[in-house]
Structure 1
Amino acid sequence: MALEALLAYAHLLAILTMVVFLSSEAALCRVEWINAKVVTRLGRVDMIYGIAAAAVVLTGVARTIWGMKGTGWYWGNSLLHVKLVMVVAVGLISIKPTFAFRRWSRALAATGALPAEGEVRETRKWVMVQAHLVALIPLVAVFLARGFGAK
């Protein structure tokens, strides 16, 4: 029982960390706020976001393996697969902003140039798509936790 609680806590902590840093990206990635310090900070924030996202996946897998419900219950539930597809989609969507932030950092270091307004707007759009999709994952999670989708 204690292990289940600790696994749930670790998973929740990882989720909250991921959401905080994704929200930070959304807040910082604005045309009117972009400057050299923000470009540098976006790279760091995105790195922490990526680490937190990996922790979400790892703690989620740990819960399916060592949690009380067991792998059979989780992996036999179609809603887990829906959640996984959503998590993979968020991960794939996050590639574009990550590459943009890295490109901006390299350009800033090499020439001192800031990203163009259009590129900042486009990147923010992808960050916001991630944020909205991440907000839907807990909806699936609460139904999963209550046994919906089980065979």
Structure 2
Amino acid sequence: MTTEALLAYAHFLAILTMTVFLASEAALCRKEWLNAAVVERLARVDMIYGISALVVLITGVARTYWGMKGVGWYWSQPLLHLKVTLFVVIALMSIGPTVRFMRWRRNLRSSGALPSDVEIRNVRRLVMIEAHLLALIPILAVFLARGVAVSS
């Protein structure tokens, strides 16, 4: 029982951290606000977002193995597969912004150049899509926890 509670706590804390830093990226990635300090901050925020996403994945997998319902039950559930699929889609989408944030920082440090308005808008669009997809995962989690569309 204690293991289940601690795994749930670690998972929820990682989810909240990931959500906060994704929201921070969305807030910072605006052409009106982008300056040298924000470019540096975006790269750091994105790194914390990526680390927290990895912790979400690790703690989620740990919950399936060491949680009360067991690995057999969890991995036989279609809603879990849908959650994981959405998570992977978001992770793949986040590669683009991560690469661009690193490029922006490299360009800033080498030449002092900031990204173009079009580039900022395109990256922000991807970050916003990630955030909106992320908002779908909790409803799947709630349905899974309540036994909605669960395989027996």
TM-score by length of 2: 0.98
- Counterpart of 2:90? 90
Distance across 1 between alignment mates of 2:24 and 2:44: 11
Structure-2 separation of matches of 1:75 and 1:127: 29
1:21 has 2:15 as partner: no
Aligned-residue Cα RMSD (Å) equals: 0.6
Partner of 1:31: 31
Q: What does residue 111 of structure 2 align with?
A: 111
What is the CA-CA distance between 1:44 and the residue it aligns to?
0.1
Deviation at 1:116, TM superposition (A): 0.3
Aligned equivalents of 1:66, 1:148: Cα separation in 2 = 22
Q: Which amino acid aligns with 1:143?
A: F
Runs of 4+ aligned structure 1 residues displaced above 3 Å come to: none
> Which amino acid counterpart does residue 82 of structure 2 have in structure 1?
V
Describe the SS at the equivalent of 2:8. helix
Mapping 1:18-97, distance limit 5 Å: 18-97=18-97
- In 1, the alpha carbon distance for the partners of 2:61 and 2:145 equals 14
Structure 1 residue 148, shift from structure 2 partner: 2.4
Q: CA deviation at 1:147?
A: 2.0
For structure 1, list consecutive stretches of 5 or more residues without a partner in the other structure.
none
How far apart are residue 48 of structure 1 and its match? 0.2
Q: Which runs of 5+ in 2 are unaligned?
A: none
| Distance in 2 separating the partners of 1:77 and 1:98 | 32
- Secondary structure at the counterpart of residue 127 of structure 1: helix
Q: What is residue 132 of structure 1 aligned with on the other side? A: 132
TM-score normalized with structure 1 length:
0.99
Q: Distance in 2 between matches of 1:66 and 1:149?
A: 23
Q: How far has the Cα of 1:146 moved from its partner? A: 1.5
Aligned residues: 151
Amino acid at match of 1:145: A
- Give the superposition deviation at 1:11: 0.2
Q: Identity of counterpart residues, as a percentage?
A: 64
- Counterpart-to-counterpart distance in 2, 1:150 and 1:38: 45
1:36-84 per-position Cα deviation (integer Å, ceiling 9, x unaligned): 0000000000000000000000000000000001001100101000001
Q: Aligned-pair distance for 1:145?
A: 1.1
How far 1:149 sits from its partner (Å)? 3.0
